[in-house]
């Protein structure tokens, strides 16, 4: 069964629009934990949050609270920086996804250059795994980087589907083939295959050609749909569509 991880960063973005200086205030809304519980109730298999260096949406207390209160797994997206690594070691999320981080971007754009940063990634991966946290790398479907993920000791890869989501026709078909090749290689190397970025109920069926997918991580679309139909229903809607994946 294809699992769904729900990224609730944009719930925190809305909170920070008014309560950036006091995110833990009794008045600060929407509540991150309440949103996570709505996703749980709908059948989500994990909750994803990205703790950025500038704390633009998720803040430290969110991460500790979610780890304490969630019934499903917590996936912490993070850049490979000393401060955030130390927080991850304290939180001990169920798994982390190491991502590139650019202060100018609104959301994570593009995958890690694993080959270029192999030594640093390998060290962080070892520390996290010793701390009983599984490690994923967010990568473009580039075969060289898939090999590097395995060499660095990653447990999983999350294939970046942004190019897939923003292409159509022949271009999308070509990107699906790249994703298929990357998934095949990752699976052969013993890596769990996840995917995410830009996925919607409208385009995710085109991704079903990709083999060995274990989990999709989706945020923006689900929070956007929640404005009109509610978060619980938005997650349920996606899970229905994902039920058509054959593996």
Render 41-84 in DSSP notation, one character per residue: HHT-SEEEEE--TT-SS--HHHHHHHHHH-SSEEEEEE-S-HHH
User: Which one of 3, 10, 50, 160 is the catalytic residue?
Assistant: 50
pLDDT at residue 92 tops 70: yes
User: Which one of 10, 160, 197, 221 is the catalytic residue?
Assistant: 197
Residue 197 among the catalytic residues? yes
Alpha carbons 182 and 138: distance in angstroms, whole number: 12
pTM assigned to the model? 0.94
User: Which one of 77, 101, 158, 175 is the catalytic residue?
Assistant: 77
Residue 77 among the catalytic residues? yes
Characterize the bridge pairing of strands 95-98 and 73-78: parallel
Per-residue confidence at 103, pLDDT binned at 50, 70, 90?
low
Q: Give the tens place of pLDDT for each residue, 118-172.
A: 999 999 999 999 999 999 999 999 999 999 999 999 999 999 999 999 999 999 9
Q: Give the list of residues 6+ apart from residue 101 with CB closer than 8 angstroms, or none.
A: 52, 53, 79, 81, 108
Per-residue confidence at 109, pLDDT binned at 50, 70, 90?
low
Tokens for 145, please give them. Answer: 């980087």
Render 116-130 in DSSP notation, one character per residue: TTHHHHHHHHHHHHH
> How many CB atoms are located within 10 Å of the residue 235 CB?
23
3-242: CATH topology is TIM Barrel (3.20.20)
pLDDT at residue 182 tops 60: yes
């Amino acid at each position: 069964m294809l699992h769904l991880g729900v990224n609730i960063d944009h719930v925190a973005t809305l909170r920070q629009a008014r309560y950036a200086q006091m995110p833990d205030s009794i008045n600060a809304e929407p509540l991150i934990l309440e949103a996570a519980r709505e996703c749980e109730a709908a059948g989500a298999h994990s909750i994803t949050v990205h703790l950025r260096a500038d704390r633009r949406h998720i803040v430290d207390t969110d991460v500790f609270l979610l780890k304490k209160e969630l019934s499903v797994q917590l996936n912490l997206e993070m850049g490979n920086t000393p401060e955030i690594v130390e927080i991850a070691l304290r939180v001990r999320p169920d798994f982390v996804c190491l991502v590139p981080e650019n202060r100018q971007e609104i959301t994570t754009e593009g995958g890690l250059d694993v080959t270029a940063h192999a030594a640093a990634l390998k060290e962080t991966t070892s520390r996290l795994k010793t701390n009983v946290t599984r490690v994923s790398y967010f990568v473009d479907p580039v075969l060289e980087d898939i090999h590097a993920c395995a060499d660095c000791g990653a447990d999983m890869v999350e294939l970046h589907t942004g190019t897939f989501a923003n292409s159509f026709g022949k271009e999308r078909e070509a990107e699906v083939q790249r994703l298929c090749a990357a998934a095949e290689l990752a699976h052969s190397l013993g890596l769990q295959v996840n995917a995410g970025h830009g996925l919607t109920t409208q385009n995710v069926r085109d991704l079903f050609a990709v083999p060995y997918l274990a989990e999709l991580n989706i945020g923006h679309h689900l929070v956007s749909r929640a404005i009109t139909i509610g978060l619980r229903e938005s997650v349920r809607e996606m899970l229905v569509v994902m039920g058509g994946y054959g593996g």
